[in-house]
Amino acid sequence: MGRTGEKALAAGVAALALTALVVLLDYLTPTDADFGGFYMLPVILAAWFIGRSAGVSVALLGTVAELLVDTTLRLQGESATPAIASWNAVTHLLVLVALALVTDGLYRQRERWRRLDAERTTMLRVLELELPRPLRAADWFARTFEDAFGPSVTPSVRAQFGLLRHHTRDAMFLATDLLAVGRLRLSGLHFERVPVDLRAVAAEAAAGSLDRSRVLLSGANDAQVVLADPDRLRHAIASVIARFLEMSPYEPVTVLLRSSGDDAVVELSCRAGAIASTDVELTELLVAGNGGRLVFVPQGSPRGATVTMYFPRAAAGAASVTPPLEPERVPRT
């Protein structure tokens, strides 16, 4: 793969000048002094900045120059006989050619990854602009039709509209999270941490699942106030519940709230359906962004797979924020 431009031209001139300098030093030093390593420098320079053929050409030029120096231009020594010099030149040429090929291969590989990274960045930029548009449209649709019904809408229908807006917000947060994870930056996730009731958020996440009857919420009847982003916190819990329900079509999913020292704990487990650590990568990011930590135990224990989230409690006296939706009151259809 040839490279063009001023940089390639400058590299070619530098490689030739460096080869000439090495040849001169090789000529001025005794025969027993080995300058083979220095001939590698112009080969690497030419192969990296110009290409494979340029690197091989510089390797051939350096080898011929070294052979002429050893056999013709300076006084002959015992180690500089034509046979020995020719053998040294052949082996040296093979080493330099291999070095040129490896250097060019490394450059090609680096450029390949740079192109892939540029394509990924472009795709993320497009998604960042285009993905929220249909989600905003769905939210506008729900609000418009709810307003059109006016006071005549029944509580059941109003609850369904609320649930639709709720899941639209879920999708919006997921889009934001995917974009942030695609950039491999936790800082790309946006957190607004306020005191929230962990049990209320866990109940909201459980009620929003596709099969609410199989999600068993227990423990910690009293409020456990933690400092977290309620939407991100609910998303972290809901994503694990959804994955458990997907992997185990019959077994219940247990959501246990408890205390552990200064931490409030949400422990999710399911006997059937093993999940992998890759299934909780986004959840781990969301938990870490909320100041907590996640412990994942794959299937194998008597309780099955377990995902445990630890969150530091908020300062004493902090008032919790009521979640925007009360899922327990939403009638099932």
Is residue 150 classed exposed, middle or buried when 0-12, 13-18 and 19+ CB atoms within 10 A define those classes?
Answer: exposed
Cross-strand partners of 228: 194
Euclidean distance between CA atoms 21 and 240, whole angstroms = 65
Euclidean distance between CA atoms 302 and 256, whole angstroms = 16
The whole-angstrom distance between residue 40's C-alpha and the CA centroid of its chain comes to 37
Taking the complete model, does pTM exceed 0.85, yes or no? no
Does residue 272 carry a pLDDT above 50? yes
Cβ–Cβ under 8 Å, residues 234 and 205: yes
| Higher pLDDT among residues 55 and 278, named by residue | 55
- Among 34-43, 52-61, 246-255, where is mean pLDDT lowest? 34-43
* pLDDT score recorded for residue 330: 37
CB atoms within 10 A of CB 267: 20
Give the contacts of 223 (CB within 8 A, at least 6 positions apart): 197, 198, 199, 200, 320
Euclidean distance between CA atoms 25 and 73, whole angstroms = 13
CATH topology assigned to domain 194-326? Heat Shock Protein 90 (3.30.565)
Q: Could you state, in order of their start, the residue ranges of all structural domains in the chain?
A: 6-126, 134-188, 194-326
Summarize pLDDT for 114-139 with one digit per residue, the tens. 887 776 776 666 666 666 667 777 77
% residues pLDDT > 70 (the chain)? 77
Q: At what angle do helices 281-289 and 230-247 cross, to 10 degrees?
A: 160
DSSP track, 291-326: T-EEEEE-BTBTT-EEEEEEEEBPPTTPPPBPPS--
Summarize pLDDT for 167-203 with one digit per residue, the tens. 777 777 767 666 666 654 445 567 888 999 999 999 9
Summarize pLDDT for 63-92 with one digit per residue, the tens. 888 888 777 765 455 555 677 777 777 888
Cross-strand partners of 5: none
Does residue 166 carry a pLDDT above 80? no
Summarize pLDDT for 283-313 with one digit per residue, the tens. 888 898 889 999 988 876 666 789 999 999 8
Q: Which long-range contacts (CB under 8 A, 24 or more apart) does 75-78 make?
A: 75/31, 76/31, 77/30, 77/31, 77/32
What is the sign, positive or negative, of the torsion defined by CA atoms of 12, 13, 17, 23? positive
Does residue 111 carry a pLDDT above 60? yes
Six-digit token string for 45: 């320079």
Summarize pLDDT for 16-55 with one digit per residue, the tens. 888 888 888 877 876 666 667 788 888 888 888 888 888 8
Number of residues in the chain: 333
Write phi, then psi, for 223 (nearest 5 degrees). -70, 135
Write phi, then psi, for 208 (nearest 5 degrees). -85, 0
Euclidean distance between CA atoms 230 and 196, whole angstroms = 7
Amino acid residing at 124: L
Does residue 316 carry a pLDDT above 50? yes
Question: Sorting pLDDT into bands at 50, 70 and 90, what band is 322?
Answer: low
